[in-house]
A and B are shown apart, each in its own frame.
Chain A
Amino acid sequence: MDASVQHDQATIPDGDKLSSVMQTIAEHKGCGTSGGSGKASCGSGAGENDLPPEIWEKVKNHPCYSEEAHHHYARMHVAVAPACNIQCNYCNRKYDCANESRPGVVSEKLSPEQAAKKVLAVASTIPQMTVLGIAGPGDPLANPEKTFKTFELIARTAPDIKLCLSTNGLALPDHVDTIAGFNVDHVTITINMVDPEIGAKIYPWVFWKHKRYTGVEAAKLLTDRQLQGLEMLTERGILCKVNSVMIPGVNDKHLVEVNKAVKSRGAFLHNIMPLISSPEHGTVFGLTGQRGPTAQELKALQDECEGEMNMMRHCRQCRADAVGLLGEDRSAEFTTDKIMAMEVNYDIDSRKAYQEAVESERVAKVVARQEELASLAGQSSDIKLLVAVATKGSGLINEHFGHAKEFQVYELSTAGAKFVGHRRVDLYCQGGYGDEDSLETVIRAINDCHAVFVAKIGGCPKSDLQAAGIEPVDQFAHEFIEKSAIAWFKSYLDKVNSGEIQHVVRGDAEIRQGALTSAA
């Protein structure tokens, strides 16, 4: 695109100040190349001391923009934007948008008024819900009236809630001023390519200015508009996250280029997600048998890009009507019928008090991690390994093995514990008894891990895990994740050093296809 696009500075108050802030962020590599490779959960995991204070203030309670926040704070999406202006080969609109999801589950469409009511109902029930996002199921900016009407209503009735949106970027340059006017300070753009030849393999067409464009022409138009929109947002000091779908053989290697392109335009965070693809989704990629990446392929690409900028690894590729912490889905509690029957008592002060308590919990977790990390000082070893953790949130090992819908994955080394991803699993335990087939699914999902940390585990799965070479660890039940993982790693190293055990490298793991839905 034309990098010399000029924007009218007169319409951007404080443009200079904001762009200098954005420059700082662009230069700030978090755990980038400069010797920080082992810093705990860097990138999206950048904590209070890693970021400029004004940026920390923006991300500290946004679960999608801060790995640390996602253990404590919840978000919700409202499905007010069904229309879309482009077609993607990983999406099938007969069901819903594949950006967030799985087939067959049709989200309720909401009017802006219903959405505003839903936000108040959720905010009253879940006080740690701090972010309202509009992510479809189409594209928010292909439905500008509905999107901005929703923001207007929520800004009026629940002013403490952060507003956020996620777009394909085609219409973005036309709406940047309106977005800034609503004080939306987080925008996500899905950018899968910066090369139209590659784009033509991902996007069959785009609809722009009353015309359908196809092939390379369509992809060129899209990439130009995406990058222009990104520049316009970062100039205004709006934090931008870039989502990219990793499609092996199509754009996997190219995403390194995408990473550089978005970093140079001031993007704050890059989220590389695995392609969700299965024939039953009815998508083009699903039907042509295009596979998604394995856990190792995804992590290798994320690691490669992390030298360049902050990476998000805690994305759950959630639905356009998701409610709750990132790893959970409480949308079934808030259907339109239920909301209408609910007594809503939106109390900004009690929300604030609750969030202060959450904040002290978060701080306690960080302190515990740092204390434990100090005890690793002086140890040196090349060993790097992965462990899986069953958690319900709050940064604690507080989930029963059999109840876990997902496991969080940490990479342990003498530099500490670093969050590197999560694995969704089918519910293993249903109705109180174990199901053998599901246990196999769990083992496949965490096959690259040396240990799994749980609050509790039954005897049967315990021995099966051991047989698969994964150590079940329940001695740290209800303790902080990172602190416990570091303590376990210390004793692991001791055992290796004393010759009691031998360190072996684990294999690859499977990324489950399909999306997280509430338990039936």
Chain B
Amino acid sequence: MTLKIIASQCTSCSACEPECPNVAISEKNGTFVIDPKKCTECIGHFDEPQCAAVCPVDNTCVIDNSFPRYQPPA
């Protein structure tokens, strides 16, 4: 139910942090990370995940397949 940030590609530009509607993003060891417990893929907030839309490096904020896709409450 979450996106993740590929650390090796993250430029630490911080653009994603303030865009996250769930305050799920924070800086850790020089790059940014998404808290999987808080991420909702922006479903219910915006049309597209904000971190991926603002990230300057393509394919850096991506769906984390180790978590099931987010299902909004019915």
Q: Which residues of A contact B (CB under 8 A)?
A: 82-85, 87, 93-94, 109, 137-138, 142-143, 207, 210-212
In the A-B complex, the 9 residue pairs with the closest CB atoms: A83-B15, A93-B56, A212-B53, A82-B13, A207-B54, A93-B11, A210-B46, A83-B14, A83-B13
| Chain B residues whose CB sits within 8 angstroms of the CB of A137 once the complex forms | 13
22 contacts between A and B (CB under 8 A): A82-B11, A82-B12, A84-B13, A84-B15, A85-B54, A87-B56, A93-B56, A93-B57, A138-B15, A142-B15, A143-B14, A207-B15, A207-B53, A210-B19, A210-B46, A210-B47, A210-B50, A211-B47, A211-B48, A211-B53, A212-B48, A212-B53
Q: CB of B9 within 8 A of chain A?
A: yes
CB proximity of A235 to chain B, nearest CB, Å: 29
Chain B, residue nearest A137 (CB)? B13
Interface residues as binary, B53-74 with A (CB distance below 8 Å gives 1, 0 otherwise): 1101100000000000000000
Chain A, residue nearest B47 (CB)? A211
Q: Count of B residues near A, CB < 8 Å? A: 16
Are A93 and B13 interface neighbours, CB within 8 A?
A: yes
In the bound complex, CA of A210 to CA of B19 (Å) = 8
CB proximity of A284 to chain B, nearest CB, Å: 11
Are B9 and A94 interface neighbours, CB within 8 A?
A: yes
Other 19 A-B pairs with CB < 8 A, given A210-B53, A212-B53: A82-B11, A82-B14, A83-B14, A83-B15, A83-B54, A85-B54, A93-B56, A93-B57, A94-B11, A94-B57, A137-B13, A138-B15, A142-B15, A207-B15, A207-B54, A211-B46, A211-B47, A212-B48, A212-B54
CB proximity of B9 to chain A, nearest CB, Å: 7
Chain B, residue nearest A88 (CB)? B56
Which residues of B, 7-61, contact A by the 8 Å Cβ criterion?
Answer: 9, 11-15, 18-19, 46-48, 50, 53-54, 56-57
- Interface residues of chain A: helix, strand, loop or mixed (majority): loop
Given contacts A93-B11, A93-B13, A109-B12, contact A84 B48 (CB under 8 A): no
| Chain B residues whose CB sits within 8 angstroms of the CB of A93 once the complex forms | 11, 13, 56-57
| Chain B residues whose CB sits within 8 angstroms of the CB of A87 once the complex forms | 56
| Chain B residues whose CB sits within 8 angstroms of the CB of A84 once the complex forms | 13, 15, 56
| Chain B residues whose CB sits within 8 angstroms of the CB of A138 once the complex forms | 13, 15
In the bound complex, CA of A109 to CA of B15 (Å) = 13
| Chain B residues whose CB sits within 8 angstroms of the CB of A85 once the complex forms | 15, 54
In the bound complex, CA of A44 to CA of B42 (Å) = 48
| Chain B residues whose CB sits within 8 angstroms of the CB of A109 once the complex forms | 12
| Chain A residues whose CB sits within 8 angstroms of the CB of B15 once the complex forms | 82-85, 138, 142, 207
| Chain B residues whose CB sits within 8 angstroms of the CB of A207 once the complex forms | 15, 53-54
CB proximity of A115 to chain B, nearest CB, Å: 15
In the bound complex, CA of A277 to CA of B18 (Å) = 31
CB proximity of B47 to chain A, nearest CB, Å: 7
CB proximity of A304 to chain B, nearest CB, Å: 34
| Chain A residues whose CB sits within 8 angstroms of the CB of B12 once the complex forms | 82, 109
CB proximity of B28 to chain A, nearest CB, Å: 15
In the bound complex, CA of A109 to CA of B47 (Å) = 31
In the bound complex, CA of A475 to CA of B74 (Å) = 86
In the bound complex, CA of A137 to CA of B18 (Å) = 17
In the bound complex, CA of A207 to CA of B19 (Å) = 11
In the bound complex, CA of A210 to CA of B53 (Å) = 8
In the bound complex, CA of A84 to CA of B53 (Å) = 12
| Chain B residues whose CB sits within 8 angstroms of the CB of A82 once the complex forms | 11-15
CB proximity of B3 to chain A, nearest CB, Å: 15
| Chain B residues whose CB sits within 8 angstroms of the CB of A94 once the complex forms | 9, 11, 57
In the bound complex, CA of A82 to CA of B14 (Å) = 7
Chain B, residue nearest A109 (CB)? B12
In the bound complex, CA of A330 to CA of B53 (Å) = 36
Chain B, residue nearest A91 (CB)? B56
| Chain A residues whose CB sits within 8 angstroms of the CB of B13 once the complex forms | 82-84, 93, 137-138
